[in-house]
Structure 1
């Protein structure tokens, strides 16, 4: 049985995780007999030259997941119930019986053909990786984060967030966003005006889906955020490139004809320039006079190298034309 497991210190996953996955795979393949106990933690640890605690933890996880069962004074055995629900391989049709569909012909869109920013796998080894969306483990408050995770998994917290809220977000999280985060950007909102998503890309996808169709024109900064262009192209709307300068999006007649404009005024992507407050007022006035909406992506607004942070475009909006993502 020992020959089934091959652990490597060089792999990204821990030895305990490798062992757990390999035992589970061997069980599902039927490589471990039902009537023979698994090796003791001490014996398996000696054979694989790993710590006994590593094996104990792997066994405990497999026990919790239902792969094995404990029998008093006999050890761990494969749980026969875990194999009972498997579909017989003989029920699968052979390749000769059915012709495979031509998936390339059936796809109406080809997202993989879009231009994307590719991050190298070992970006952390670069002194200046020039990427965004990743945290620096050297300065990330990991101790506080672990403490928050433990609190969120407590019995009291589980009762709160494990219930079916349907279309409601966590009211306490909404309250923190409304009273602590948004006011720092000069934005005041009621709870029903706040929607929590799994990131800016989901927010953008929802907004494009709701506000644009094949007859709509979306204005995008050029150069700008690649992903919003890709999202928009999937919905067949018309995309208009908008020029920028040293103060961000240029507010002039190039905005005419747009139904929706996506902009990053506080930290233009990718140039990092900041739109001055005078131009922000010009943009809002144009939105009113030419009847278009604005998506303000306020990412990295805290990264400011020119003195005091500029107020969010949304904080200056008095006609409800700005949709704020932050």
Structure 2
């Protein structure tokens, strides 16, 4: 029996090359049971014409499928589903009726929490003023690919296949200790460094180790929304400390605080930089409280306007600062690679906790990153991103000035976003929905605040993933939406 060519189609939005998508299409048909052993495939010429692709693309896909035993070829007859192709299990379908009361069955909840959301297809919007996404045009794909290939080679085979258990790639750790951390004024030993699956994983590890019911954490208000969710999972008491134009006021940290979470280099989301005097005062306040400080330095590489202020960790003579770093903003968010730096007893516990959950980040990813960093590609990329963001920032500043929008906070050293304030009475969640229909994406500000009476008129504009030539028009559309009568917004 021949498989009709009409059953094949390329789904819009699928990722990968045309060849890979054709392979996946056939494999899914086999694994789902729609295509059965011995059935004849459409000819390469006919399938190519039907899909609107070149015949060589279909031929290469068929060849790969034949190599993996999904297809077999017969002389002068064409391609068939192989007799050795996988067959779906022939299990009888079990009748299902939901009789479990999951509200009662679940002992703990993790889905609650106001974390900002963005459309999955954000890249298709013309004016995506969203934070934390990479611009693929700026990334060094060629050298990253070469480093990945190098990490797959025989010399690095151990890094690819070995189970490190609770260890990390020694080359990556060495680069961090000798190159990355000294730029922040931090000196560390290997036993004081742990590789994590991004900054959020690092913050989770820190919160799980340092906090428990009965302990108290102080966080900046506004702050990173996901941090609030992480801390809520520990059962600790939570104090919100309002930030000002210079970041976290040390004297406002309440008595009884055990852990202080702060973003001194680029306060999230306002962008304020904690002055050197306040950094020293914060260390003194932590010493008086016998508290630990968790320093989230998530964006220090984006200091393209002037050199970054030394990290809080670099001023720490007591070993009470736990430092969190990430490559998500400077490489790409999907990499999910970050690190923790702290006293050896803390890192030992963090290593044990990480090993009980995920062992370690994939060895191949760690080794690829180590090559990319050590060969100088990372520094070149950071400089290129800095130049691009500097240009976009200038365009943003001009557009904001021309349209009369109000800036509530902006990073003095660089960064990739503006913290904005809309007029009183504007709910930026509603504004966001209105703008989304006009092709503009912004981030409403309410989820960043801890207090229940959070102001509704703040919002964040990121510029890392929007081209310079679209910024002015996008900002103009925001201004137009804010100028509409309330009944139309």
Does residue 1:176 correspond to 2:189, yes or no?
A: no
In 2, Cα distance between equivalents of 1:52 and 1:257: 71
Deviation per CA, 1:163-220: give whole Å up to 9, x if none: 1221110101110111010000001100111100110111111111111111111111
Shift, 1:222, TM fit:
0.2
What CA RMSD, in Å, does the superposition of the two structures yield over aligned residues?
Answer: 2.4
Equivalent residues in 2 for 1:54-93 (5 A)?
Answer: 54-63=57-66, 65-69=68-72, 76-84=79-87, 86-90=88-92, 92-93=93-94
Greater Cα radius of gyration, structure 1 or 2: 1
Is the 8 Å Cα contact of residues 264 and 298 (structure 1) preserved in structure 2? yes
- Where relative contact order (Cα < 8 A, 6+ residues apart) is larger, the structure is 2
The CA deviation at 1:103 is 2.5
**Bigger Cα displacement from structure 2, 194-203 vs 98-107:** 98-107
Q: Specify the alignment match of 1:186 in structure 2.
A: 185
Q: Is the 8 A contact 1:222 1:241 kept in 2?
A: yes
Q: Pick which of 36-45 and 71-80 moved more.
A: 71-80
Asked if residue 36 in structure 1 is aligned to residue 45 in structure 2, the reply is no
What aligned pairs does 1:1-326 form with structure 2 within 5 A after superposition? 1=3, 2-8=5-11, 10-13=12-15, 14-63=17-66, 65-69=68-72, 76-84=79-87, 86-90=88-92, 92-95=93-96, 99-124=98-123, 129-304=128-303, 307-326=306-325
Q: In structure 1, what is the Cα distance between the partners aligned to 2:122 and 2:51?
A: 32
Equivalent position SS for 2:174: helix
Change (3 A) 1:262 1:77: same
Q: Is the 8 A contact 1:161 1:170 kept in 2?
A: no
Farther-moved stretch of structure 1 (187-196 vs 32-41) = 32-41
Shift in CA distance, 103/18, structure 1 to aligned 2, threshold 3 Å: farther
Structure 1: tracts of 5 or more residues without a match = none
Which moves more between the two structures, 235-244 or 56-65?
Answer: 56-65
What do the CA deviations read for 1:214-265 (whole angstroms, capped 9, x no partner)?
1111111000111110111122111110121111101115332111111000
Q: What CA distance in whole angstroms lies between the structure 1 residues aligned with 2:28 and 2:136? A: 32
Change (3 A) 1:286 1:72: farther
Tell me, yes or no, if the aligned pair for 2:14 and 2:21 is still in contact at 8 Å.
no
Give the gaps of 5 or more residues in structure 2: 326-489
Counterpart of 1:261 in 2: which secondary structure? strand
Residue 257 to residue 56, structure 1, CA distance change in 2 (3 Å): farther
20-29 or 65-74: which moved more?
Answer: 65-74
**In 2, Cα distance between equivalents of 1:31 and 1:127:** 39
